[in-house]
Amino acid sequence: MAEMKQPDGVQIDLISGERMDGMASMEKIRMILDGVRDGNIVILEEGLSPDEESKLIEVTMTEISPDEFDGIEIESYPRSETAEASFLDRLMGKESTKKLTVIGPANQIETLHKDETLIQTLVSRK
């Protein structure tokens, strides 16, 4: 990511699905955590796969460090597709996990409201 952080602002990285497509799981996780650990808000156009989400939680846990990093806040829209549809998708071999996902440092981002169509978060400067 280019270094564009304002002295007292919050940097937001909006990462396209296309950019993510060319990355391996651990690369994505590294990119997200590097951004978040720098105090940035990372917004993924298409989110992560369930497998990547579980690795993200696991790696986040191993990086939590007192006075340095408290972990992440992550929000995405709850799945709107029905169980049958996602099962069918899985039968067809395509996992419809594309969902806008917001990730930020746990101590700087707070979810105010979330429903199937709206995520409201409050971001504070560190």
Which letter does DSSP use for residue 123 in this model?
Answer: E
Task: Name the residue nearer to other proteins (CB basis): 15 or 72.
Answer: 72
What are φ and ψ of residue 47, in 5° steps? 70, -165
Distances from the Cα of 17 to the Cαs of 45, 63, 102, in angstroms? 5, 26, 13
Residue 74 and residue 106 in contact, taking contact as beta carbons nearer than 8 Å = no
Using the rule CB under 8 A, which residue among 25, 54, 80, 124 binds other proteins? 54
Site for other proteins in 4-43 (CB under 8 A): none
Task: Name the residue nearer to other proteins (CB basis): 6 or 82.
Answer: 82
Window of 7-15, 25-33, 37-45, 66-74 that interacts with other proteins by CB under 8 A: 66-74
What is the distance, to the nearest Å, from the Cα of residue 5 to the centroid of all Cα atoms in its chain?
19
Q: How many CA atoms lie within 13 A of 75 on its CB side?
A: 21
Using the rule CB under 8 A, which residue among 58, 80, 122, 124 binds other proteins? 58
Smallest gap from Cβ 20 to other proteins, in A, equals: 17
Residue 41 and residue 103 in contact, taking contact as beta carbons nearer than 8 Å = yes
Binding site for other proteins (CB under 8 A): 49-51, 53-55, 57-62, 64, 66, 70-76, 78-79, 82-84, 86-88, 95, 97, 106-107, 111, 114
